[in-house]
Structure 1
Amino acid sequence: MGVLATLAVPLQWGAAIRHRRVFHPDGILTTGSIARLAPHGEGLPIEDTEHVVARISKGVGTPGPLPDVIGLAMRLPALPFAATPWDILLASAGTGTAARVLGVRPVLRWTGQSMSSLMPLRYDGGVWWISARMATGVGTFGVSLASVRERLRTDGIEFDIAQARGAAAFRPLARLTVRGVTEAAESRDVAFDPVRHTTPGVRLMPTWLSTFREQAYERSRRGRHAD
Structure 2
Amino acid sequence: MSISELTTLPVRAGAALRDKRFFHPTGVLCGGTVTRTAPAKEGLPLVSGDVIGRVSKGVGTPGSLPDFAGLAWRMERDADGSEPWDVLTVSSSARVALRPVASWNAAQYSTLMPLGYPGGIFWLRATMTTPLDGGLSLDAVREQLTGGTIEFEVEQAFGVGPFLPLATLTFDRELCDDDPGCDQPFDPTVRSGTAVTLLPGWLTSLRHAAYRNSREGRGAE
Give TM class, smaller chain: over 0.9
Is 2:217 aligned against 1:218?
no
In 2, the alpha carbon distance for the partners of 1:30 and 1:182 equals: 5
- Structure 1, unaligned runs of 5 or more: none
Q: Post-superposition shift, 1:210?
A: 0.3
Q: TM-score, normalised by structure 2?
A: 0.94
Q: Post-superposition shift, 1:82?
A: 4.5
How big is each residue's C-alpha offset from its partner over 1:19-70, in whole Å with a ceiling of 9 and x where there is no partner?
A: 1100100000011001101000001011110x20000000000111111100
Q: TM-score, normalised by structure 1?
A: 0.92
How big is each residue's C-alpha offset from its partner over 1:119-175, in whole Å with a ceiling of 9 and x where there is no partner?
A: 000112311000000100111x52011101100111010000000011111100000
In the alignment, which residue of structure 2 is the partner of 1:100?
95
* Kept after mapping to 1: 8 A contact 2:45/2:78: no
In 2, the alpha carbon distance for the partners of 1:119 and 1:132 equals: 14
In the alignment, which residue of structure 2 is the partner of 1:160?
153
Counting matched residue pairs gives 220
Matches within 5 A, 1:68-217: 68-79=67-78, 82=81, 84-94=83-93, 99-101=94-96, 103-139=97-133, 141-184=134-177, 189-217=183-211
* Kept after mapping to 1: 8 A contact 2:45/2:79: no
> What RMSD in Å do the two structures reach over aligned CA positions?
1.6
- Structure 2, unaligned runs of 5 or more: none
In the alignment, which residue of structure 2 is the partner of 1:8?
8
Q: 1:82 to 1:11 in 2, by over 3 A?
A: farther
In 1, the alpha carbon distance for the partners of 2:31 and 2:191 equals: 18
Q: 1:41 to 1:81 in 2, by over 3 A?
A: closer
In the alignment, which residue of structure 1 is the partner of 2:37?
37
Q: Post-superposition shift, 1:112?
A: 4.6
Identity of matched residues, %? 44
* Kept after mapping to 1: 8 A contact 2:51/2:74: yes
Q: Post-superposition shift, 1:113?
A: 2.1
Q: 1:165 to 1:81 in 2, by over 3 A?
A: closer
